[in-house]
Structure formats: C-alpha cells, structure tokens
A and B are shown apart, each in its own frame.
Chain A
C-alpha cells in the first residue's frame, strides 16, 4: 500500500504498511537522524516530531495518521546554514551531555515557543515534563529555552 506524507516541507509518497509507526518511516525510509528510538511506547519523548507544530511521539503513531499533516523533524527545524534560535541556544548553553534526548526536548520547546513566546521557567519545565533526560542536563536545557525565547523577542532585535 502507499502512503503520502509531508516531511520537512517535502511531499513524499512511499510504498509501505500504513500501520508502520512513523518513527521507522522517518529513520529508515527517509534516513532522518533527529527522531530517536528510546522506548517504543511513548514514555520518554526521544522520538518526538512536530505535527502542525504540536509535539507528537512518532514511535506510537501510525504513519497513515499524519498523511494529511505537516511533519517537521529536528533536521527540518533548522540547519547549520539556517539554524532555529533554539538550536543556537542549545549550543551556546552547551545544553546536553550525550545528546540523545535533545531531539525531543528541543522540538517540544519549539512547539512551546510557537504558542508562548515568553514562557516562565515553570511553564518550560511543565512543557518538558514528559521528556526524559538521564545525564542531568535539565537546568542547562531550561536555560537554553529561556535564551532562545529572549533572542526571539522583537525588542531585542530592534535594539541591534
């Protein structure tokens, strides 16, 4: 069977079982590295992608469920040439150790900033509460989100 989906602003048609979890399609058919396999049961958030700017756990959602929606992965959020403010902020704050959970944390934060450009620390921590980090880089990642929010603020841009 075939499935059509939009990933990182590209329309793609694939021959596969529509019940296949989105994660395997992104990693194996589209060779994307951003979404990670962490648990396969929607508990850790390492597999997060954005579907219409909402964080979605790609390990438990069938690929056919997103065919009418826009999927964005870490690769589609920004690149070295055109980085998203969060990607820059994560580098500036050195906001990780191993980096395996960063995909889920960063994309979930991107969704938060999309709807709430000036979140408080409590709001950031609450938005990230289902994203697990084992290295203990939580504080740095929260600071990185705060930094990205500050960088995005129009007043800051105007001052430059």
Chain B
C-alpha cells in the first residue's frame, strides 16, 4: 500500500490506457454531467483496477502534499467497494497512469476526486455483484460482501475471480448511488495516514530521496536579481574541479553537473563567482507596498454590486473607512525544491513534487519543444508546499539538465537561498473598506476595494512561467499583464457573508509588478478575510456592540451561526472585554470561497509592554466541513492552518533591498517556532448528510483577523498592515490610553 514503486517504475515507459480513449468517446457521445472528476475521466478502470491476486489499485490525479489526501481517498474507495483498507494500493498523480485532475489545489480534492471515486467504486461494486449473482445463481440483494469476498449461503466468490480484463473498462453511468453515510466503516473515522510510517522510520518517501543508477547532481547558478542577464562566464576553473561533469549554459540559464552533490554545490559556488551579469529591476521599498500597488497600472472589475453604497452614506448614523494591507509572503517550504529527470530514447521521465503533473507536463513540453506525449511526469512527495512554490521550476531545471546529458538521470536540489529568492511569493494586497451603519447599528451599506496582482501564475500548456525556461530564453520572469491571467483568485472571499444592504466590491488587478508571485494557500482569501473581519470588529467597537453579537446580527446562514456560537462557547467568550492590559481575545469568521468549509476562530494574545512583541497564546476553532471523511486529518489541516496563519500574521514579510530579495534564509525570514506556536483547540461539527467540503484553506483568514482583533482588545491599537510586528505597536500602545479608531466620517463629509 505504501508507494515504494517509484524506483521500480523509473523507466521511461509511458503507459496509456483508457485515459486516451475517452476523448474520442466523448466526441461521439455527448457528455453527461457525471459527478466530480468522472466528468472528465468517465472510465471506471481509470480509477479502479482489481487484479487476479486480490490487489485493488485506486488511481487519483490528486497528489499527497502532506494534507493526507491519499489516505482520505483510500477510505472513500474502501467503503464503497467493501474491501479492507489494507487491500488498497493508491497510485497518485502520474501522467503515465492516473486521471488528469489538474492541480491539487483550492481545497477541491475531496469534492472532485473523492466524489469521482465514491461513484466509481459504488458502480464497480454493483457490476461485480451483478456478475456474482449470475455465477452463484442468487439474487444480488441476497449477496453479502466482506473485503471483496461475496457470499450467499455457503457459496462464495471473490471480486478478483470475477473481474476480467475488460470488466471495468466501461464508462461510468453515475447512476449507482453511493452508500448511506450511516453504513460507512472507514469514512468518518480517524484512520491513520498511510504514508506516515515510512516518514518516521527514514524510508524512501520524498523526491529528495530518489536515487537512480548513474544519477548526476545538478546545481543552477541563478542571476543576482529578477532583471539580470548573463553576459559572460568563465567555465575553465569550474570544469577543473573534482567531480564536475559539465557546465550547461543556455541564454541566462547557467548550471553545473557533478558526480557528487557536495561537488555540485562547490562547483556552483565557483561558477557563480565567474559569471558576469547585467541589468536589474528596482524592487519595492519596505512599508510602501500599498502605495506601489495603487500606482501601478491596473484594470478594474466589479466582483459584486447591489444598489449604490455611496448614496446611503449621508443618511447613515455612522460612516467608517479603513485601509488594510498584507505583504508578500513566502511559501517557505522546509525542504527546498527538488526534481529528478532522465531522457532515454527520446522519452522523458520527470519526478517532481509539483501540484499539477499534467499542466507541468504540457508546460515542459513547450519549453523543450516536444509533444507532451514524449514526457511522463510523476508526482513524488516533497516537503509541504502550501501553494505554487519552486517545485515546478526545479522540474524544469532538471529537464533542461537531463537534455544536456541524455541517458543520465539528473537530480536538482535548490539551495535555501535560491528557494527564498526565486520562489513565486504569495502576492501583496491592499484594501480600502467603508461602511455605513443605521441608527440601530446595522450595516446599511458596504464598500470593498482591493488592489492585487493576479494571484496565480502556475505553468500550463498555454503559458510557461517556468523559471529555467524563461532564463534560457532570456525572458522576464515578472510583471505579466493581468488581463490575460484574470484575478487568479484575488477576489476570493471578498464578498462578506453578512447582510450588507447596498454594496459594491471592486477588484483592481495590478500589472507590471516587479516581483515574481503566484498562488499561496487561500489566494486572496487570507487578505480579504483579514480586512473584512478586522473591519467588522472596528464597526462593532465604533458602535459599542460586542463583536461576536454584531456578527450574529448580520448572519442568516444557520451553519455560519452555529460555528460562531460553538467557538464562543468553547473559548469561554465573555463579551467585549476590551482593555489595555496587554491580554485580549479576538473573534473572526469566514466560509472559505463562500462555498466550502465554515470556520470561526477565537484567538488569545498577549503583547509585551516595552517591546510590542505579540504572542498568540491559545486559539479555538469551530469547523463545519460537511460530511467528515477523516476527522483527525481535518483537525490536522485546521490546526496547521491556524499555526501557519499565526506565523504569517505576526512574523512574516518578504524583504527587499534596492534590487534583490534580502530575506534569503531563516534569520531573514523568521517563522513561528516550537516556543511561539500557539496551542489550538478545535471542535468539529460533522454533518453526515451534507456534501464534504474542502478544508485545507479554511482557517487562515479567520485566524489572521482573530489575532488582529485580539491585539486590539489587548492594547487598543488597531494594526491594519500585516505583519503585526513589534514595530507596528511600539510607540502606539499607551497603557490605559483611549483605543484608536478607524477614521470616522462626520456626516457633513
């Protein structure tokens, strides 16, 4: 069941089966609306295969990123098939073997792949029961299944005796209903992750652990900055170093191949000192991100509009405006990006921790000038990525170096400095919110404007954003025009879940940003929810209302109200307890994407008087993710999301010098540690009869805002620009002083 087979499948064999056929079938047969990813990959044997020896193989196009998806999907399949969990072997994201499910991103895996597997497994079981009924001469309703053994009276036959080569090679009808949730054995239980033992015992688990015979170690010498071009390089000294096999130069792409990894590291260092670069791009100065975003060219689009929020301002009892921002945030994976590639007989195999093996394959084909069918891209676990980090770029580096040494596998492992300097950062954003409240303290109008670059520049067939390809072609790696990229999710969660009256929500999509950016966990949701939920707190305080009660007054969705009420009870919320004591609680709520998991958070912080250092002491969350597949997996995702968001909120910002990234190691980009990470408590609200909802990105927005609101409760200082670093509080927090308020507009304004 463990995925130990990436070594044994290291040949360049490209297996094709029904994946290629369904497109032809669809051309003749108009597609029906099949559930989940069955819509794109309808053949049952693309998802499930049973061999004569009794092994059940389950295929998914989704990748294990440390979120436990492999285990959750195995639970779903085991339940619908009626086989033991141990009988299932999972095969994940591999363009040679699995369905194309795009990226493993956006908290969609349970909804898309999980739904496909639920229906495919239910139909597979029904087909096999039909065959068993014929074989045993008993009606299907009288048959019982236990771990693939079908029994009736004394007669027995197994799935693997019944299944033939073509049995499951048929289109799913989507018409076999999955089981009643009450009858599920594995779903809803805290099943242990399948991949953990190997990781605890130091067995091969990660792409970093992949060792192929004859493998060379490659290191890329990156330019000093985004705008730099390689003018010249003296290679002689590098080539004389021990173990050096080759120096590779293509445009501004410069790298060295060596027998040993440490030799490659030393050689890249030598080569770097012998390379001459020209050109640079000016980078934003600290503290001026919001101004930069508003000055750059942008296109405006209306996310949501109802009435004219400006018109009610004059009639309002209270009218308030405030501006917020979040900086560039690094994915900052603990393991730098890594990949292995080999080209043999014109066939390419690339092992990668990319979130999207199919889109990466197509982008690589473009860079290499090959038809995609010549490439097989296989996902192997990497360190947690939290979005689009350097994984795809490392795969491109390995492919470019494999091309320079046909027949030899090449492994590329980025340095820590390169990971911090070249990963695409989670984009900075700026927000301006205004609201008017009526005499009863209810929201009468709401305005929300955001400025952001597009939030996702993942590589695909249409556009390669791969770093190595861009350096090889000497093309800029930053500043893509937004029109062609859409919002990339910058507007995610920009519509508040509250009753707003008249409202207008506008996104300004910024172009020509001089910084390389792409998807970070939650996309725009983290910044939007931070701004909205901070602002809700400001509105409550400005009108003398409890922030928790104020939210409930504006919420109609019962499930939203339940998570808020639950977290209030769990955390012992005692009403608005604003003080300047240095300790405080804050609450925040969001439903991720306004359509996925509901999450309400209460954070407790203490702020050190002298230094202004914020410490998140504890936090509580209440979570409704519909039907829970694996409660411990869900808990782990929410806990991790809360701790990571604490780090984003109080510690993290990418730093720049005039033309370089200056935060290129862990001292320049500190994150929360074991001593500063909060203890978190989570209450899950299971709803077995509701669809499962994505949860991996549900906690970050509420956590960030809950911390900001708690800091206000603790100090009376409203910090509207992240991170809430000591510098933002120092000098502003005066004990027992009057709390700061958002800019309150007099009616005559």
Q: B-contacting residues of A (Cβ < 8 Å)?
A: 17, 20-21, 24, 27-28, 31-34, 36-41, 43-44, 46, 73-75, 78-80, 83, 87, 90-91, 94, 96-103, 106, 124-126, 128-142
Contacts and interface: CB of A to CB of B under 8 A. Distances in A.
Given A41-B416, A106-B200, A125-B675, A100 B643 contact: no
Contacts of A137: 636, 639-640, 643
A126 B675 CA distance: 6
Nearest to A143: B679
Given A125-B674, A134-B671, A91 B334 contact: no
Contacts of A75: 201-202
Interface in B182-217: 190, 192-193, 195-197, 199-206, 208-209, 211
B77 to A, nearest CB: 20
Contact of A37 (B335, B639, B667): B335
B66 A135 contact: yes
Contacts of B334: 38, 44, 46, 98, 100-101, 132-134
Contacts of B202: 32-34, 73-75, 103
A129 B677 CA distance: 10
Contact of A136 (B195, B211, B261, B677): B677
Contact of A87 (B201, B384, B413): B201
B68 to A, nearest CB: 8
Given A90-B200, A100-B206, 18 more contacts: A27-B261, A36-B206, A40-B416, A87-B201, A97-B66, A98-B383, A99-B205, A99-B381, A100-B333, A100-B334, A102-B199, A132-B671, A133-B677, A135-B384, A135-B640, A136-B643, A136-B677, A141-B674
Nearest to B680: A139
Nearest to B633: A94
Interface residues of B, number: 61
Interface string B292-334: 0000000000000000000000000000000000000000111
B280 interface: no
Nearest to A43: B666
B78 interface: no
Contact of A83 (B195, B201, B677): B201
A91 B192 contact: yes
A138 B196 contact: no
Contacts of B666: 39, 43-44, 132
Nearest to B673: A129
A4 B675 CA distance: 38
B665 interface: yes
B260 interface: yes
B735 interface: no
B467 to A, nearest CB: 20
7 contacts: A33-B205, A36-B206, A46-B335, A74-B200, A99-B205, A129-B673, A138-B674
B262 interface: yes
Q: Count chain B CB atoms within 10 A of each CB in A17, A103, A134, A142 and give the residue with the most.
A: A134
A32 B206 CA distance: 12
Contact of B383 (A100, A106, A138, A139): A100
A139 B636 CA distance: 10
Contacts of A73: 202
In the complex, the 10 A-B pairs of residues with the closest C-beta atoms, listed nearest first: A136-B643, A98-B66, A34-B202, A99-B199, A136-B640, A100-B383, A98-B384, A74-B202, A138-B677, A97-B66
B642 interface: yes
B626 interface: no
A124 B193 CA distance: 25
B192 A28 contact: no
A40 B335 CA distance: 11
A139 B679 contact: yes
B173 interface: no
A124 B261 CA distance: 34
Given A33-B204, A43-B666, A139-B677, A97 B335 contact: no
Contacts of A97: 66-68, 384, 636-637, 640
Q: Count chain A CB atoms within 10 A of each CB in B204, B242, B672, B677 and give the residue with the most.
A: B677
A98 B201 contact: no
Contacts of A102: 199-200
A99 B66 contact: yes
Contacts of A43: 416, 665-667
A73 B261 CA distance: 19
Contacts of A99: 66, 195-196, 199-200, 205, 381
B81 interface: no
Given A33-B209, A96-B66, A91 B200 contact: yes
B193 A94 contact: yes
A135 B644 contact: yes
Contacts of A28: 260-262
A136 B639 contact: yes
B261 A24 contact: yes
A139 B195 contact: no
